[in-house]
Each structure stands twice: as C-alpha cells, then as structure tokens.
Amino acid sequence: MNKINDKYQKYNQVIIDKIKLDEKLNSFIQELTDEQINQNLALLYSQAIENEKCKNCLGKKKCSSEEAGYQSYLMLIDGKIVQRIKPCEYVEINNFDLIDVLYYPTNAFVGKTDKSNLNARGAFFLEQKNIMDGKSNKGTYLYGRYGTGKSFLTFKLVNDLASRGRKVIFVLVPELIRNIKANLDKPTYMDDLIVKMKRVDVLVLDDIGGEINTSFSRDEILFPILDSRMNEGKITFFTSNYSLKELEEHFAMENKKLDTNPIPAGRIMERIRKLAKEMLLEDKNYRN
C-alpha cells in the first residue's frame, strides 16, 4: 500500500512540476487552493499540454489542438475550474507545409494582417481579391520605403494561395545571391535552386534590388528564372524599396556603379513588368 502511495505521490509531483513550468497556468493557479489544484490535476495537466502545442506552433504549423483553429483556456467560476475555447490569435494559419520559405527565421510572418489603413493598403487588398478569385494571373510588384509591411502582406497573400493547394517559394533575394555564390564549388547547387524556382506554382522574390548588382547575379541567376516564368505564365510576386524605374537603374549599374549597361537591364525589366503589376505602398513604419 505504501509503495502504491509513493508511486501516486511521484506521479502527482511530475504533473505539478509540468503545470508549474507553464507560465500561463502558473499565474492561474495562484488563485487556487491546494485542494482545488489536487482535485483538478488532470484538467490542469491537459491544459498544460494544449498550451505547449500552441507555444510550439504560433500559427507556423498545422493546428494540432483538439479544436483546430481554437485555443483552450481555464476559468475559475464559482470556485469551479472550467475549460473554455476561443479563436486562435494566430487564425491566419501559415501553410508552411506548402510554402518553402528560404533564408528567413520561422517566426518572420507570425501575426495578423492590419486591414485598418485602407487608404494605404486598399488597392493591394483589391488586387489580392482579384488574384484569389482567378480574375488576374499577374503578381504584384509591391514597393515602398522600409518597414511598411511589403513582405508581410505579400506572404499573407501567397499563404492564401497555398491554402488552395498552390506550391509556393518565398525567397529573400540578397540572401539567395549570397548563398549561391558561397556554394559555387558544389556542381549542381545553383542549377538545382534555379530549376526549383522556375517550376514552382507561385514564386515571391522578396527585396529585389537589395542585392549588390553584378552581371552574374542579374544574368545568370535572376534572368533565367524570370524568363522561364514569363514564358510559362507562372504567378510571380516581388517586393522592393525601388520603383520599377529605379530598379532598372539598379540593374544597369555594374562594377560598383562605374559602368552602366542598359541592354541586359532592359531585358530583365521587360520580364518583371509582364509578370507583375507595380503598386506603391505608402504606409507607416510598422517596425517602429
């Protein structure tokens, strides 16, 4: 009998330790008596497991909660612990199974889309609706100053496309160029990446123009990707701090801006203009 009691006490202690490690539950149990805690160990432990699932997800994975898209929480009502559910705060679930995000931290696009500033963002939301409704097969070239949410908005758009079964690659262009250059000693590394971006259903080239322009990055990496996608009519999105006119000047400058070469710059810009609709995003700096 004593051995059974000892095992029971050890088991309870494991559960209590698990509960105490949960920040949300730890503050909740401060309101409870020892008797309330002991009588509701199973419920508290269950909530600790659910909280852990949410903490490890933050909208970046397929929801593993019992009620997908909802979060459970505990309330104390008339001295009784009751479990309730509420919509997940990360309801815009990111389809990371379908979106291949290259060179970004996994939590880069967690959060909700701010739809309050329609003066700045209304045109983009309208274009998003046209794309989602199949009225447009042309991507967007979203440009503007730093921190206005160009990458975030574009990610949320392609996240919706991914939820409808489209395969998506979202790539940070300056890091793509650096990564390829760092792996030139690997025979098929560059070719494999380029082929992957040529073939994917939806491609986002984020922060294009943020890379140092060279004939190699422009003509050997970006041009074949864009040429192939234009010829095959594949949806392509861009974000940039440059307007299309400014981007053309960027691509024309070579050798640290000592020389200009307008012909290859014009060739690549022709493809970008055919692939995407230019849109200026004038908004506040959300990073501040």
pLDDT at 143: 94
In this structure, the answer to whether residues 44 and 130 fall within a common structural domain is no
Answer for the pair 149, 281: CB distance below 8 angstroms, yes or no.
yes
pLDDT at 207: 96
Q: Return the higher-pLDDT residue of 269 and 50.
A: 269
Q: What is the pLDDT of residue 288?
A: 65
Q: Note the pLDDT of residue 67.
A: 64
> Residue 23 pLDDT more than 80?
no
Higher pLDDT, 73 or 240: 240
Share of the chain above pLDDT 90, in %: 35
For 234-253, the pLDDT digits (tens) are: 999 999 999 999 999 999 98
Q: What's the mean pLDDT in 222-232? A: 96
pLDDT at 201: 92
pLDDT digits (tens, 9 = 90+) for 36-71: 877 887 888 888 888 888 777 766 566 677 666 677
In a domain, 287, yes or no: no
Q: Is the pLDDT of residue 197 over 50?
A: yes
pLDDT band, residue 256 (cuts 50/70/90)? low
In the chain, the number of structural domains is 2
The reply to whether 285 falls in a domain is no
What does pLDDT average to over the chain? 81
Here the CATH number for the domain that contains residue 207 is 3.40.50.300
pLDDT tier, 225 (very low <50, low <70, confident <90, very high otherwise) = very high
pLDDT at 82 over 70: yes
- Per-residue pLDDT, averaged over 81-95, amounts to 68
* pLDDT of 75 over the 60 cut: yes
Please compute the mean of the pLDDT values over residues 92-110 and round it to a whole number: 69
Q: Give one DSSP letter per residue of the chain, joined into a string.
A: -HHHHHHHHHHHHHHHHHHHT-HHHHHHGGGS-HHHHHHTHHHHHHHHHHHHHHHTTTTSS---SSSTTEEEEEEEETTEEEEEEEE-TT-S---TTTEEEESS-TTTT-S----S-HHHHHHHHHHHHHHHTTS---EEEEE-STTSSHHHHHHHHHHHHHHTT--EEEEEHHHHHHHHHHTTTSTTHHHHHHHHHHHSSEEEEETTT-SPP-HIIIIIIIHHHHHHHHHHT-EEEEEESS-HHHHHHHHHEETTTTEE-HHHHHHHHHHHHHHEEEEE-----TT-
Confidence of residue 190 (pLDDT cuts 50, 70, 90): very high
Same domain for 190 and 240: yes
Evaluate if residue 19 carries a pLDDT over 80: no
Residue 74 lies in a domain: yes
- In a domain, residue 288? The reply is no
Q: Does a structural domain hold residue 92?
A: no
Q: What is the pLDDT of residue 126?
A: 84
Taking 60 as the threshold, does the pLDDT of residue 5 lie above it? no
pLDDT band, very low/low/confident/very high, at 210 (cuts 50, 70, 90): very high
* Residue 276 within any structural domain of the chain: yes
- The 10s digit of each residue's pLDDT in 110-162 is 767 766 666 667 788 888 888 888 888 899 999 988 877 889 889 988 888 88
For 203, the domain range is: 99-280
Q: Both 53 and 144 in a single domain?
A: no
Is the same domain home to 72 and 181?
Answer: no
248 and 107 housed in the same domain: yes
**pLDDT of residue 215 exceeding 60:** yes
